Amino acid sequence: MLLFVGLLVFAAADVVYALQVNANTYVRGTPLAAAWAIGLALLALWVDGMERTHPAAVSETSPATGRAALMVPVVATAAGLGVLLVSSRVPLSTLSVALAGATLVAATARTQVAFRQVAWMAHLRRMASATDDLTGLPNRRALHVEGHTRLADPERCRQSLLMLDLDKFKEVNDSLGHHAGDQLLVQVGARLREHLRPGDLLARLGGDEFAVLLEDAGHTEAIDVTVKLRAALAEPFALEDITLHTSVSVGIALFPDHGLDLSSLLRTADIAMYKAKTSGRGQHVYNTADDTDATTRLKTVEELRTALTTDQLVVHYQPKIDLDSGEVRNVEALVRWDHPTRGLLYPDAFLALVEESGLMRTLTRVVLQVALDQAAVWHAEGRPLTVAVNLSGSTMIDISLPDEVAAMLTVRNLPPGALQLEITEEFLMADRDRARNILTRLRSSGVQISIDDFGTGYSSLSYLRDLPLDELKLDRSFVFPMVDDARAAALVASTIGLAHSLGLRLVAEGVETKAAYTELVRLGCDQAQGYYMSRPVPAAELDLWLSARDVAHELTEMTGLLPTLD
């Protein structure tokens, strides 16, 4: 209303003025002059009201309106100057001259204030666009701007760029949620900052990637800092409701050896970082051979993604034989990659990459689906085999797993006992409470839990007391030497005793010879798995093997001979 009436009064006064001038009847100093003043006053009141009711809108004015605001004092200044100039030729009233002078002074003061405001706003805007919202660290853009300046400075001849990437961060995000992921990133940022010198430039590039431009640092210094930072991040992080261990892979590029500008240093550090990840060493200084490695790796990750969605992953099954009856009630599902050009690949060739590229969750789901589909077929055929699926250590934090597993069993109409999960001791390492939670939920739904590669882990045995378990699988490194080495045999015997005293089943893996098989039967081991009985084979082949075995079994029962395997 104020704006509208103000403009109306102003326009009306102008129209009257124009008519009077035209009719030559205009006289100065009539109430008409007051109409302009009243119009202006109404406009001023409108602006004032705006500022009170919408302070945010006014303070968030864009640079364009900020500059437009400057027009008012500028025009006032010009008008004041004009009056003063005119007064030097035409005699004007002292009051007009004094007012014009005062306008000039006030406008100058106001202009200065306005300029300062505009400059401050621009500064804030620059700051905001250079800072990462989550961690408050400089962002990629700031790294580029500041990095450019530093690299161009002839005084600073030795600099190093570190590229840091958290290991398995995607799993944290997927399993614990983005909130936990964010908390972790904030703490990682703070911890990195703590261990750097004030002159080092730390930036968050996005996601779980950080970069550090080290001042005055060559090869040796860069490695020293890297070792220090990796040690700092190896300490546990306390998030709201969980303690988390993380690790970081670091790629190092040196200036000027590996690049003359920030973009090429970032690229080379990135390649070195991937090398650090895949080699499992955690840190790596760039060298030219990395270029080809990086290309191959990227290609393989892409192929893996395709493989996971296009049935290229196949599952082979290896039987676990009950040693007392010779029956087969359990099989282990082992994944293979039927690669379009490289042939059948074994887990050794691709599992590490699956883990690194954050695809383990997907792989576990695919294997579970395939294995349970197969179990459903066997059940329908009257062969109620239990399939054992391997879970990687990183699955430990996957709290949605028990529900998903239950749903997978239900849709296939399978009893929970049709599934067994094999986990390694590593699975229990990172967060015991969470592991216990997941395992308890799985087991109370009826799924069996087995500790794989038993004896190779370095965690304490105390988990045997407080975790819900069904089976221990003694690692093959204990089974191989059993026949020739009395101490190894004693270890196997006592592990069987240990398992039994805890009410657990003991399975021996890597049974390659008849001698080992016979010895395990003698020692009272529950089940055996190994090449001696069968290699892991496709389901159809296992069916043939099982049928042949059934026939052999019936024959031996008929002839009263003991079952033999040769």
* Contacts to ligand C2E by CB under 6 A: 318, 334-335, 346-348, 351, 367, 390-392, 422, 452-453, 476, 509-512, 529-531, 536
Answer for which of 453, 471, 519, 526 binds Ca ion (CB under 5 A) is 453
**For residues 146 and 140, what is the distance between their CA atoms, to the nearest angstrom?**
10
CA angle 376, 379, 384 (to 5 degrees): 125
Q: Given the complex with Ca ion, which of 188 and 388 has the nearer CB atom?
A: 388
Minimum gap (Å) between residue 410 Cβ and Ca ion: 25
Task: Quote the CA–CA distance of 382 and 379 in Å, as a whole number.
Answer: 5
Taking the least distance from each CB to Ca ion, the nearer of 355 and 422 is: 422
| DSSP bridge partners of 201 | 213
> With the CA atoms of 69, 74, 77 and 78 taken in that order, what torsion angle do they form, in degrees rounded to the nearest 10?
-140
Return the closest-CA partner of residue 293 out of 310, 274, 306.
Answer: 274
User: For residues 464 and 436, what is the distance between their CA atoms, to the nearest angstrom?
Assistant: 11
d(CA 83, CA 95): 11
Residue 270 binds Ca ion, judged by CB under 5 A: no
Query: Nearer Cβ to ligand C2E, position 440 or 456?
Result: 456
Tell me if 407 sits within 8 A of 368, measured CB to CB: no
- Closer residue to ligand C2E in complex, CB, 223/537: 537
Min dist CB 327 to ligand C2E, Å, is: 19
303 vs 453, beta carbon nearer ligand C2E: 453
Asked if 226 and 252 count as a contact pair (C-beta separation under 8 A), the reply is yes
Residue at token pair 């015997």: 493
Among 357, 390, 448, 529, binds Ca ion (CB under 5 A): 390
For helices 360-380 and 169-176, angle between their N-to-C axes, nearest 10 degrees: 60
* Identity of the residue, 335 or 405, whose beta carbon is nearer to ligand C2E in the bound complex: 335
Q: Using CB distances below 5 to 8 A depending on partner kind, what does residue 392 bind out of Ca ion, ligand C2E, none? A: ligand C2E
What is the nearest approach in angstroms of ligand C2E to the Cβ of residue 378?
18
Contacts of 300 (CB under 8 A, 6+ apart): 350, 353
In the complex with Ca ion, which residue's Cβ is closer, 114 or 335? Answer: 335
Q: How far apart are CA 91 and CA 70, in angstroms?
A: 31
- Cβ-based nearer residue to ligand C2E, 211 or 367: 367
State in angstroms the smallest separation of the CB of 476 from ligand C2E. Answer: 6
Pick between residue 211 and residue 389 the one whose CB is nearest to Ca ion. 389
Residue 471 binds Ca ion (CB under 5 A): no
Which among Ca ion, ligand C2E, none contacts residue 408 (Cβ within 5 to 8 A by kind)?
none
Comparing every residue's Cβ against Ca ion, the nearest one is: 422
- Give the whole-angstrom CA distance, residue 397 versus residue 167: 14
At residue 131, the 3 state secondary structure works out as strand
How many binding residues for Ca ion (CB under 5 A)?
A: 5
Q: Which does 346 bind (CB under 5 to 8 A by kind): ligand C2E, Ca ion, none?
A: ligand C2E
Closest CB 559 distance from ligand C2E, rounded Å: 29
Count of alpha carbons within 13 Å of 107, Cβ hemisphere only? 19
Q: 């430990």: which residue's tokens?
A: 396
Q: Does 226 bind Ca ion (CB under 5 A)?
A: no
Closest CB 520 distance from ligand C2E, rounded Å: 12
What is the rounded distance in angstroms from the CA atom of residue 81 to the CA atom of residue 510? 99
Stretch that binds Ca ion, among 63-71, 199-207, 257-265, 416-424 (CB under 5 A): 416-424
Q: How far is the CB of 552 from ligand C2E (least distance, A)?
A: 20
Minimal distance in Å, beta carbon 289 to ligand C2E? Answer: 28
> Residue 422 Cβ, how far from Ca ion at the closest point, in Å?
4
- Does 452 contact Ca ion by CB under 5 A? yes
Instruction: Name which of ligand C2E, Ca ion, none residue 335 binds, using a CB cut-off of 5 to 8 Å depending on partner kind.
Output: ligand C2E
φ and ψ at residue 315, rounded to 5 degrees: -120, 130
Query: How many Cβ atoms are within 10 Å of 551's Cβ, its own excluded?
Result: 10
For residue 536, the minimal CB distance to ligand C2E (Å) is 5
Q: Shortest Cβ distance from residue 529 to ligand C2E (Å)?
A: 6
User: Which alpha helices (H) appear in 502-538, and where do they start and end?
Assistant: 514-523
Window 494 to 553, contacts with Ca ion (CB under 5 A):
509
With contact defined as beta carbons under 8 Å apart, do 332 and 322 qualify?
A: no
- The interface region with Ca ion, picked from 50-58, 284-292, 390-398, 541-549 by CB under 5 A, is 390-398
In degrees, rounded to 5, the angle at the alpha carbon of residue 180 between the alpha carbons of residues 198 and 442 is: 145
**How near is the Cβ of 509 to ligand C2E at its closest, in Å?**
6
- Does residue 174 bind Ca ion (CB under 5 A)? no
Identify which of residues 134 and 376 has a Cβ nearer to ligand C2E in the complex.
376
Question: CA separation (Å) from 169 to 14, 112, 355?
Answer: 69, 50, 11
- 255 versus 337: smaller Cβ distance to ligand C2E: 337
Yes or no: say if 193 and 229 are a contact pair by the CB < 8 Å rule: no
Cα angle value 503/472/535 (rounded, 5°) = 135
- The pair of structure tokens assigned to 46 is 């409108």
Provide the token pair at 296. Answer: 């191959």
For ligand C2E, the closer of residues 81 and 345 by Cβ is 345
Binding residues for Ca ion (CB under 5 A)? 390, 422, 452-453, 509
